């Protein structure tokens, strides 16, 4: 807690409270994430996206009903064949250094993101970008790309100033501006002490009149969740995003001074699931995978282990998405059906009562949604003759190395939708993405030609109803064939003091711009 105390002293924030004069223009946010840098154009992750979305502007924003809204682009048009998207930019946007933002900067940013961002499918269809004048951007596509507008959100398409990040300034991965960013967003980065805190201040020349409302946003970085929660409950912090621990959420919900908002960030779409290695016997038999599904009581996991704080995830697309299919098989607890499927698969119990034994992986850090769930599964699966041996990796690299090299039977995993299936869902199920050594690819080694076809068609379909029908069929097949047993949506709640208003509540939640954040009168 030394760093927290020193920060308060250094910034005269020791007396910060919702009623003080300083607090009216300031908010202190707590986090455990350390940004490697602030350039969301070349790096993913919520702890980079949160400051990036505030330091940089983007072409569009998105409403809480998944509709695109103007931001730097005041209008946009897609051609009838879906191969051209034209943006008309505002002419009054300047970067933090006073230089105007033009179409050349948008073109540079799109090309930079395509070349550097880890979400390779996000801008893959972009063939070229034209800039006929300073306020017009024409994006040419190899094929229709219905995910493109969503990819223009603040979290995914920060507009970089070419004069700061361009090739004449060296390799963008090593550009000093990644740590001292220049954007056109509502806040400027004033100070960063890596691993301790960063401070953003109001962009007085922001192009939206009257925004941002706050003068300052402090983000204090804590070494662990326990110290973060203690600071929040003491009242030292005004807001903590991305609270996902069911235990913490249950306790914080009883605090009369705090608001716990779990219905945020549907586009992030984080799902907690049990992944099967579909090429490893006996899990290569769909009957065995389905038997395991039927032997697990998901309601018990949700209500007891996760204390009712995490919504169910019935399939590969989170329920908050307009593309989700709520009608997939639910796999309600049925031990008789599980036993019958295992008998049908020819897996008779041995003298010890076990049909076979599998190894189940997770990490030491993943307690509530990992180890605890697997401990429950171990006892539950023994009821149908399946032995489970837990293998707890001491750290993320150890676990990732095992899973990405397909050295596993089953594993707990947490994977994000990232708004559109083209961006965050396809990677898990496309047979073309079965890759050695790459975590969060198709590590299940699942292959189904029909699924590949559906995902390829849906990635091109611009009619929303037809696209929904394609994804509905995809979800039905995947849930039926069970390369994954889907358990819960990770809650990612934002917890904040009563009196704080304008908390980002759109589909991107806390990784949205905070230009409306303020203390209520």
Same domain, 98 and 204: yes
Domain count, the chain: 2
For residue 450, pLDDT over 70 is answered with yes
- Residue 228's H or E segment, with its range, is helix 225-234
Whether the pLDDT of residue 77 is over 60: the answer is yes
469: CB partners within 8 A, 6+ apart: none
C-alpha pair distances (Å), 498 with each of 27, 29, 342, 510: 13, 14, 53, 17
CATH code: domain of residue 433: 3.10.105.10
Give 55-70 as a DSSP string.
HS--SEEE-TTS-EEE
Question: What is the phi-psi region of residue 44: left when phi exceeds 0, alpha when psi lies from -120 to 50, beta otherwise?
Answer: beta
Claim to verify: residue 509 and residue 476 sit in the same structural domain:
no
CA distances from 410 to 92, 102, 275, 281, 434 (A): 54, 50, 5, 12, 16
Instruction: Report how far residue 514's alpha carbon sits from residue 213's, in angstroms, rounded to the nearest whole number.
Output: 9
Q: How many residues does the chain have?
A: 521
Rounded mean pLDDT, 385-405: 97
Split at pLDDT 50, 70, 90, the class of 264 is confident
What's the pLDDT at 265?
84
CA angle 68, 414, 249 (to 5 degrees): 85
Averaged over 494-509, what is the pLDDT?
Answer: 94
Which has the closest alpha carbon to 105: 55, 168, 154, 58? Answer: 58
Q: What is the mean pLDDT of the chain?
A: 94
Residue 362, φ and ψ in degrees, nearest 5: -165, -175
CA-only gyration radius of the chain, Å: 24
Pairing of the two strands 493-497 and 239-243: antiparallel
| β-sheet bridge partners, residue 70 | 60
CB 64 within 8 A of CB 507: yes
Hey, which residues does 429 pair with through a beta bridge?
A: none
* pLDDT computed for residue 263 by the predictor: 76
Residue 2 has pLDDT above 90, yes or no: no
Please give the DSSP secondary-structure letter assigned to residue 98. S
217 pLDDT higher than 50? yes
Q: Is the pLDDT confidence value at 115 over 60?
A: yes
- Asked whether residue 213 falls in the same domain as residue 329, the answer is no
User: Looking at residue 420, what is its pLDDT?
Assistant: 96
Same domain? 240 vs 347? no
Burial class (CB in 10 A: 0-12, 13-18, 19+), 411: buried
DSSP-derived letter for residue 94 is: B
Domain co-membership, 378 together with 473? yes
Which residues constitute the domain of residue 237?
2-263+493-519
- Interatomic CA distance for residues 454 and 325, integer angstroms: 15
CA distance 518 to 247: 29
Residue 473 burial (C-beta neighbours within 10 Å; 0-12, 13-18, 19+): middle
Residue 512 — very low, low, confident or very high, per pLDDT cuts 50/70/90?
very high
Clarify whether residues 195 and 311 are in a common domain. no
Which residue from 7, 9, 62 is spatially nearest to 29, judged by alpha carbons? 7
What phi and psi values does residue 124 have, to the nearest 5 degrees?
-55, -40
Residues 403 and 361: their CA atoms lie apart, in Å, by 9
Q: What is the DSSP string of 443-458?
A: TT----HHHHHHHHHH
- What is the model's pLDDT at position 305? 97
Q: What is the C-alpha separation between 184 and 36, in angstroms, rounded?
A: 21
Express as a percent the part of the chain with pLDDT over 90. 91
Average pLDDT over residues 140-150: 97
Q: Work out the average pLDDT over 292-316.
A: 97
What confidence score (pLDDT) does residue 24 get? 65
Q: Answer yes or no: do 456 and 515 share one domain.
A: no
Whether the per-residue pLDDT at 344 is higher than 90: the answer is: yes
Q: How confident is the model at residue 11 (pLDDT cuts 50, 70, 90)?
A: very low
Q: What is the CATH number of the domain that holds 46?
A: 3.40.190.10
Quick one: pLDDT at residue 463? 94
Instruction: Round to whole Å and give the CA distance between 25 and 386.
Output: 58
Query: Which of the residue ranges 24-28, 226-230, 294-298 would you say has the lowest mean pLDDT?
Result: 24-28
Distance CA 134, CA 91 (A): 8
Of the chain, the end-to-end C-alpha distance in Å amounts to: 32
Between the alpha carbon of residue 267 and those of residues 120, 258, 367, 492, 512, the distances in Å are 18, 24, 25, 12, 11
Q: Is the pLDDT of residue 380 over 80?
A: yes
Domain match, 69 and 204 both: yes
286 and 430: one domain? Answer: yes
The answer to whether 374 and 412 are in contact (CB under 8 A) is: yes
How many degrees, rounded to 5, is the angle at CA 295 between CA 289 and CA 296?
A: 95
Q: CB-based burial of residue 173 (10 Å sphere; 0-12 exposed, 13-18 middle, 19+ buried)?
A: exposed
Judging by DSSP bridges, how do beta strands 239-243 and 356-363 pair with one another? Answer: unpaired
Shared-domain flag, residues 434 and 313: yes
**Is the domain of 444 the same as that of 372?**
yes
The contacts of residue 178 (CB under 8 Å, 6+ apart) are 37, 38, 39, 42, 172
- The predicted pLDDT at position 459 comes to 96
With residues binned 3-state (H G I as helix, E B as strand, rest as coil), the percentages for the chain, rounded to 5, are 30, 20, 45
Mean pLDDT of 159-172: 96
Q: Which helix (H) or strand (E) holds 87?
A: strand 84-89
Kindly indicate the confidence band of residue 330, based on its pLDDT and cuts at 50, 70 and 90. Answer: very high
Residues in contact with 398: Cβ distance below 8 Å, sequence separation at least 6, in sequence order: 363
Nearest Cα to 159, choosing from 141, 144, 137?
137
Same domain? 195 vs 94? yes
């Amino acid at each position: 807690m030394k760093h927290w105390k020193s920060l308060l002293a250094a910034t005269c924030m020791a007396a910060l409270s919702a009623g003080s004069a300083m607090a009216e223009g300031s908010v202190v946010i707590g986090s455990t994430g350390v940004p490697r840098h602030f350039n969301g154009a070349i790096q993913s992750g919520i702890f980079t996206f949160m400051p990036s979305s505030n330091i940089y502007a983007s072409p569009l924003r998105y409403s809480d009903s998944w509709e695109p809204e103007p931001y730097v682009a005041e209008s946009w048009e897609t051609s009838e064949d879906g191969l051209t998207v034209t943006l008309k930019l505002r002419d009054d946007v300047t970067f933090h250094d006073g230089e105007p933002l033009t179409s050349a900067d948008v073109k540079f940013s799109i090309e930079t993101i395509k070349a550097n961002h880890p979400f390779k499918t996000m801008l893959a269809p972009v063939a070229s970008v034209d800039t006929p004048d300073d306020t017009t951007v024409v994006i040419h596509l190899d094929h229709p790309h219905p995910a493109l507008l969503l990819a223009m959100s603040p979290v995914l398409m920060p507009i970089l100033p070419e004069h700061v990040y361009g090739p004449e300034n060296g390799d963008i991965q090593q550009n000093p501006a990644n740590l001292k960013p220049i954007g056109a967003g509502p806040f400027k980065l004033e100070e960063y002490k890596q691993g301790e805190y960063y401070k953003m201040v109001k962009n007085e020349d922001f192009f939206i009149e009257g925004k941002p409302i706050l003068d300052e946003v402090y983000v204090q970085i804590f070494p662990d969740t326990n110290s973060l929660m203690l600071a929040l409950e003491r009242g030292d912090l005004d807001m903590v995003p991305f609270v996902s621990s069911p235990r913490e959420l249950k306790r914080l919900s009883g605090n009369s001074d705090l608001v716990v908002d779990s219905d945020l960030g549907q586009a992030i779409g984080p799902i907690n699931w049990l992944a099967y290695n579909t090429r490893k016997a006996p899990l290569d038999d769909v009957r065995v995978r389905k038997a395991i599904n039927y032997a697990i009581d998901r309601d018990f996991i949700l209500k007891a282990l996760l204390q009712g704080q995490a919504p169910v995830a019935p399939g590969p697309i989170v329920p908050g998405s307009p593309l989700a299919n709520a009608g997939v098989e639910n796999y309600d607890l049925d031990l008789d059906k599980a036993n019958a499927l295992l008998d049908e698969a020819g897996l008779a119990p041995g003298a010890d009562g076990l049909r076979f034994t599998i190894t189940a992986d997770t990490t030491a850090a993943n307690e509530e949604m990992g180890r605890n769930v697997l401990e429950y599964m171990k006892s539950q699966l023994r009821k149908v003759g399946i032995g489970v041996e837990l293998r707890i990796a001491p750290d993320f690299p150890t676990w990732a190395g095992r899973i990405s090299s397909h050295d596993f039977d089953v594993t707990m995993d947490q994977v994000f939708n990232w708004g559109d299936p083209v961006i965050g869902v396809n990677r898990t199920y496309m047979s073309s993405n079965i890759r050695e050594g790459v975590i969060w690819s198709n590590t299940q080694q699942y292959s189904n030609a029909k699924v590949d076809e559906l995902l390829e068609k849906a990635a091109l379909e611009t009619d929303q109803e037809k696209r929904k029908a394609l994804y509905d069929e995809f979800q039905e097949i995947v849930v039926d064939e069970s390369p994954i047993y889907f358990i819960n949506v990770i809650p990612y709640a934002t917890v904040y003091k009563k009196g704080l208003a304008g908390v980002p509540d759109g589909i991107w939640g806390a990784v949205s711009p905070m230009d409306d954040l303020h203390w209520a009168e």
